Homo-oligomer: A and B are copies of this chain.
Amino acid sequence: MTDFIITSSSTTNTAVTCTNCNLDNLCIPKGLSHSEVAELGLLVNRNNIRQKGEVIYHAGSPFRGLIALRSGSAKLMSFDQTGNELLVDFILPGEILGFDGLSSQIHNCTAIALETLNYCYLPAHKIEQLAANSPALSYMLLQRSCNQFDSQVNKVMLSRRTAEERVACFILHISDRFQLRGYSEMEFRLSMSREEIGNHLGIAHETVSRIMHLFQARKLIQVKSKQLKIINKKELSNFYTT
């Protein structure tokens, strides 16, 4: 069976810059001019690798820059004083990581690889430099950051819905993000465990499992461990729209 782990096809290309990266319409370059992308390309630090379970940055460590995921996937975790942990978000290729450290210059969250991954990073001291040279780029960063705010608002809204609605929304959201990256939106492999999904959605992992199998019984999806196939996308979305 095909493995749906996302891998950038250009990782084998040694001369990749932001200009010829295949994620350019998802990542920071999206919407920038040629010359701006070229300038960005000169400042970016490429080909950083992490294996499954390895930390990209720790909560409490100084902010060293923004990170753009090239391939693989990661999870963004937050911890409070009581040791309670929250899986803030799953990160897919083309998505930006690190905003949690920009405000105070200290990371509030910990980023951990869910599988082998490759990322680029834009050093902190170069962000201000960019802001000076390219207002459009700095405005774009601001937009990206605000976008994260919007998606957090959606997350809070979701936390008010029932467990079934949350799981339906999670499946559809992941599906959309796979599609945006050129992968099948109907059948894919989840790189995260039930435990991690549950943590992210605010429900017990047993509940995640129960509901996925309930959806299977209703012929909305087909699930076997980490492999997932959407059968009736429309009804699945009606599910949490109504």
Do the beta carbons of A102 and B142 come within 8 Å of each other?
yes
Q: How many angstroms between the C-alpha atoms of A109 and B81 in the bound complex?
A: 30
Contact digits for A83-99, partner B, Cβ 8 Å, 1 yes 0 no:
01010100000000001
Of the candidates B78, B100, B145, B157, the one whose C-beta lies within 8 Å of that of A84 is: B157
A10: shortest Cβ distance to chain B, in Å? 28
Q: Is A155 part of the binding interface, using a Cβ–Cβ cutoff of 8 Å?
A: yes
- A139 partner, pick from B80, B104, B131, beta carbons under 8 A: B131
A143 to B84, CA, bound (A): 26
Q: A131-B131, A160-B202 are in contact. Are A153 and B242 (CB under 8 A)?
A: no
Copies in the complex: 2
A153 / chain B contacts, CB cutoff of 8 Å = 78, 86, 88, 100, 108-109, 152
A138 lies within 8 A of chain B by Cβ: yes
Whether A241 is near chain B, meaning CB under 8 Å from some CB there, is: yes
- A159 close to chain B: CB less than 8 A: yes
Select from chain B the residue with minimum beta-carbon distance to A105: B143
Q: Is A147 an interface residue (CB 8 A)?
A: yes
Cβ contacts under 8 Å, A3 to chain B: none
Q: Does A35 contact B (CB under 8 A)?
A: no
Q: Does the CB pair A156–B155 fall under 8 Å?
A: yes
A68-126 with Cβ < 8 A to chain B: 78, 80-82, 84, 86, 88, 99-100, 102-104, 108-109
- Given the known A-B contacts A131-B135, A139-B138, A153-B88, are A147 and B103 also in contact in the complex, defined by CB atoms under 8 Å? yes
